[in-house]
A and B are shown apart, each in its own frame.
Chain A
């Protein structure tokens, strides 16, 4: 990138700081409220039972993805036709324009991540397992990758209305593909590898080591019932307690950290961000190209 490209990035980043400050403040506050709400609901069973911790992480991922997508889904498409197209016709480069957006969103996501992390710590910090810094980095990367993904949509669609129509679909795909709500098989399993939520869930599971640290609540309750029935039928107490492993092999493979996996998953999320940047540049160029046919 030459001097003009760098100058454009500098100017447009400043421009976004001026023009997006107000709405960014609003989105930060909304982020705080959503995180508080989610953590309030999930805190009881989080870091206590395997299922509760997994649901808690899944909810946290939903919050991060939601915040990230909402940060950027309308930013490009709302000014693309009237302003950006004209600026691209004159001297602006799509790479510089998108880079400026990415820089601004990097900082915004950083602030939002810290706030989400603080709320997370307030609710479950006392019983949390794993490195707090690792959680913070993961929250940031999930949020920023989602933000970057929404930029691709924003650059590709013609208007904010279309963007907001596409957004639920985007969110839904991410939630389904996290592998928490449904067990993924075949094609879905392959597609899941291209979602932020799947890798985010893996990282959280690995950091908290949830398969080893927390008992299964479902398994525990079922085992108590079976033990009671057996003891009632034989008329005496069992000397050796029954055991029941309710954590699937898939989950064990997904959340077990044998060293270096967390770092590898972070790199995958970073790669997503880079790919989303180039995709958004391509989408912007394609949809704003000159009238020539």
Chain B
């Protein structure tokens, strides 16, 4: 596919022309490839890419005419006109073609409109069929993913149990399923919510789509071909956690004791960060500094908002301490329901809240335990119950202080997978752990590792490293994370006492301090 446009080089925020909203074409041709995104910036022609023909948007499809159609800019938006092409253009399922339904003037496009170039067989799609979605709301930060449909109906929803799992902040309700058929795919709107569309029309019940067609759930487009779905997930890239901590201290009557110094790091949305360090390095102090439990000098920004005096636990930060802060005599469902009612900022109906809670419990493997008293759950399940109790607050940042302590490696790994799934849907998860060495492939689990070290000079905790696991191994010149703590621990604690060396190295690398 060839796009002859300068639109890709222009900043996304630049208005197209006057009051016309910026618009995108999402072009699907091959299930194996990502959708091609074209930003409409001017009058643009659409056609087959062959020698001698140079349309602005050139698509290599045998059923497309050389000069198939044209997009034009009007005062109120974009228009499309089929240029008497051989196969014509379906717009939202309606064929516009010379001699059948001539497109004698440009048709104004609306957000979500689906243009399709295909042969006219109502039951079968041509291998070269092209589907184009016109969108004024498409988020360029979207990531495209594939999902293979299984036998029978496969669920699409808001929790990890679904084949396609959407971020809760993108949409509030999804409950659909899809099943491959010999000629295409059946889509069912199970919840009956008004957010599933086909050919820009609401699907209240179910619909059958052909191969190479697309349906939409809110602003997420799902393209089907050969038993596979291609869909976009928009990970919300709102500002994450920005820590510029000059100092954390406690003050007695007469003197001030500094506990942490010079901690500068960023945690992005979707990060799963492991905090490690020797004893007394200030791991819990670091967490508590962000939680506002210590006096600090410096700046902490959460979602771009400055929280100089520390975070506000009631606004989107969840914290799970080492001791489980839940009443174990209560049933799990009661605990999480109460928390959801009191702390979740979203507005729910009773039924929606119940669904949200059950999906949360399900995502943590606790749905079958919902009616059990917490004291009757296993240690690992109790930990997950405490996490579920925070997840239902819909927080964006999760701090966990040794959530895997006392768990066997298998339960610990399960817990890590649960937390990883949380970060995958756009949460920032930070945890302190001493058991990280027992989990295989930490580079696949954690997106970041934060290493704190106690200075040999003044005993104050400092940042020795913040980056990916692979970068950390390279930085410290070791092959496993567990070797790092030996390097930075004091000699008195059977370490190599090189904390200050690495703190200085990292400081110089990042040019602060």
Tell me, yes or no, whether A binds B: yes
Determine if A89 is an interface residue (Cβ-Cβ < 8 Å): yes
Given A83-B326, A291-B288, CB of A11 within 8 Å of CB of B294: no
Assess the B342–A15 pair: CB atoms within 8 A: no
Q: Which residues of A contact B341 (CB under 8 A)?
A: 7, 11
Interface 9-mer from B40-48, B327-335, B446-454, B498-506? B327-335
Q: Which residues of B contact A7 (CB under 8 A)?
A: 341-342
Contact with B along A77-110 (1 / 0, CB 8 A): 0010111001101111000000000000000000
Q: Which residues of B contact A81 (CB under 8 A)?
A: 323
Nearest B residue to A8, CB-CB: B342
Assess the B314–A91 pair: CB atoms within 8 A: yes
Give A293 to B248 CA distance when docked, in angstroms.
12
Kindly identify, within residues 151 to 208 of chain B, every residue whose CB is under 8 Å from any CB belonging to chain A. none
Total interface residues in chain B, CB < 8 Å: 26
- Looking at the assembled complex, report how far the CB atom of A18 sits from the nearest CB atom of chain B, in whole angstroms: 6
Nearest A residue to B331, CB-CB: A18
- Looking at the assembled complex, report how far the CB atom of B255 sits from the nearest CB atom of chain A, in whole angstroms: 11
Given A82-B324, A83-B325, CB of A292 within 8 Å of CB of B294: yes
Give A292 to B251 CA distance when docked, in angstroms.
8
Choose one: B293, B319, B329; the contact of A19 (CB below 8 Å): B329
Contact with B along A263-293 (1 / 0, CB 8 A): 0000000000000000000000000001111
Give A11 to B334 CA distance when docked, in angstroms.
10
Q: Which residues of A contact B293 (CB under 8 A)?
A: 89, 290-292
- Looking at the assembled complex, report how far the CB atom of B377 sits from the nearest CB atom of chain A, in whole angstroms: 16
Assess the B325–A19 pair: CB atoms within 8 A: no
Assess the A290–B292 pair: CB atoms within 8 A: yes
Given A8-B342, A19-B329, A293-B252, CB of A90 within 8 Å of CB of B321: no
Choose one: A22, A89, A90, A293; the contact of B251 (CB below 8 Å): A293
Assess the A292–B295 pair: CB atoms within 8 A: yes
Determine if B343 is an interface residue (Cβ-Cβ < 8 Å): yes
Give A79 to B325 CA distance when docked, in angstroms.
9
Contact with B along A16-45 (1 / 0, CB 8 A): 001100100000000000000000000000
Assess the B288–A91 pair: CB atoms within 8 A: no
Nearest A residue to B393, CB-CB: A90
Contact with A along B229-257 (1 / 0, CB 8 A): 00000000000000000000011100000
Give A175 to B276 CA distance when docked, in angstroms.
57
- Looking at the assembled complex, report how far the CB atom of A184 sits from the nearest CB atom of chain B, in whole angstroms: 42
Assess the A291–B330 pair: CB atoms within 8 A: no
Nearest A residue to B343, CB-CB: A91
Give A249 to B331 CA distance when docked, in angstroms.
59
- Looking at the assembled complex, report how far the CB atom of A134 sits from the nearest CB atom of chain B, in whole angstroms: 38
- Looking at the assembled complex, report how far the CB atom of A13 sits from the nearest CB atom of chain B, in whole angstroms: 11
Give A89 to B293 CA distance when docked, in angstroms.
9
Q: Which residues of A contact B111 (CB under 8 A)?
A: none
Determine if B313 is an interface residue (Cβ-Cβ < 8 Å): yes
Q: Which residues of B contact A90 (CB under 8 A)?
A: 313-314, 319, 343
Assess the A87–B325 pair: CB atoms within 8 A: yes
Give A26 to B290 CA distance when docked, in angstroms.
44
Q: Which residues of A contact B294 (CB under 8 A)?
A: 291-292
Assess the B338–A19 pair: CB atoms within 8 A: no
Give A82 to B314 CA distance when docked, in angstroms.
18
Give A291 to B342 CA distance when docked, in angstroms.
24
Assess the B252–A89 pair: CB atoms within 8 A: no
Assess the B327–A15 pair: CB atoms within 8 A: yes
Give A82 to B327 CA distance when docked, in angstroms.
9
Nearest A residue to B320, CB-CB: A86
Give A89 to B334 CA distance when docked, in angstroms.
21
Give A291 to B324 CA distance when docked, in angstroms.
19
Nearest A residue to B323, CB-CB: A82
Q: Which residues of A contact B291 (CB under 8 A)?
A: 89
Given A7-B342, A290-B292, A292-B295, CB of A18 within 8 Å of CB of B324: no
Choose one: B292, B314, B342; the contact of A11 (CB below 8 Å): B342
Q: Which residues of A contact B331 (CB under 8 A)?
A: 18
Nearest A residue to B285, CB-CB: A291
Q: Which residues of A contact B329 (CB under 8 A)?
A: 18-19, 22
Nearest B residue to A14, CB-CB: B338
Contact with A along B328-365 (1 / 0, CB 8 A): 01110010001001110000000000000000000000
Give A4 to B342 CA distance when docked, in angstroms.
8
- Looking at the assembled complex, report how far the CB atom of B347 sits from the nearest CB atom of chain A, in whole angstroms: 13
- Looking at the assembled complex, report how far the CB atom of A241 sits from the nearest CB atom of chain B, in whole angstroms: 66
Q: Which residues of B contact A8 (CB under 8 A)?
A: 342
Give A291 to B329 CA distance when docked, in angstroms.
28
Contact with A along B268-312 (1 / 0, CB 8 A): 000000000000000000001001111100000000000000000
Q: Which residues of A contact B343 (CB under 8 A)?
A: 90-91
Give A14 to B313 CA distance when docked, in angstroms.
24
- Looking at the assembled complex, report how far the CB atom of A23 sits from the nearest CB atom of chain B, in whole angstroms: 9
Choose one: A19, A86, A91, A293; the contact of B342 (CB below 8 Å): A91
Assess the A86–B325 pair: CB atoms within 8 A: yes
Nearest A residue to B315, CB-CB: A91
Kindly identify, within residues 378 to 403 of chain B, every residue whose CB is under 8 Å from any CB belonging to chain A. none
Q: Which residues of A contact B325 (CB under 8 A)?
A: 82-83, 86-87
- Looking at the assembled complex, report how far the CB atom of A205 sits from the nearest CB atom of chain B, in whole angstroms: 42
Given A82-B323, A290-B293, CB of A89 within 8 Å of CB of B313: yes
Choose one: B252, B324, B338; the contact of A15 (CB below 8 Å): B338
Give A64 to B127 CA distance when docked, in angstroms.
86
Kindly identify, within residues 123 to 145 of chain A, every residue whose CB is under 8 Å from any CB belonging to chain B. none
Contact with A along B95-132 (1 / 0, CB 8 A): 00000000000000000000000000000000000000
Give A61 to B74 CA distance when docked, in angstroms.
89
Nearest A residue to B327, CB-CB: A19
Choose one: A15, A82, A87, A290; the contact of B330 (CB below 8 Å): A15
Q: Which residues of A contact B324 (CB under 8 A)?
A: 82
Nearest A residue to B334, CB-CB: A18
Q: Which residues of B contact A87 (CB under 8 A)?
A: 325
Nearest A residue to B257, CB-CB: A293
Q: Which residues of A contact B338 (CB under 8 A)?
A: 11, 14-15
Q: Which residues of B contact A91 (CB under 8 A)?
A: 313-314, 342-343
Nearest B residue to A81, CB-CB: B323
Q: Which of B251, B319, B342, B343 has the most CB of A within 10 A?
A: B342
Give A3 to B324 CA distance when docked, in angstroms.
28
- Looking at the assembled complex, report how far the CB atom of B163 sits from the nearest CB atom of chain A, in whole angstroms: 34
Nearest B residue to A12, CB-CB: B338
Give A92 to B339 CA distance when docked, in angstroms.
10
- Sample (9) of A-B pairs whose CB atoms are under 8 Å apart: A11-B341, A18-B330, A82-B323, A86-B321, A90-B319, A92-B342, A292-B294, A293-B250, A293-B251
Contact surface of A with B, Cβ cutoff 8 Å: 4, 7-8, 11, 14-15, 18-19, 22, 79, 81-83, 86-87, 89-92, 290-293
Apart from the given pairs A89-B293, A91-B342, A292-B293, 11 other A-B contacts in the complex at a CB distance below 8 Å: A8-B342, A11-B341, A15-B334, A79-B327, A82-B324, A83-B325, A87-B325, A91-B343, A92-B342, A290-B293, A293-B252
Contact surface of B with A, Cβ cutoff 8 Å: 250-252, 288, 291-295, 313-314, 319, 321, 323-327, 329-331, 334, 338, 341-343
In the A-B complex, the 3 residue pairs with the closest CB atoms: A86-B325, A19-B329, A82-B323
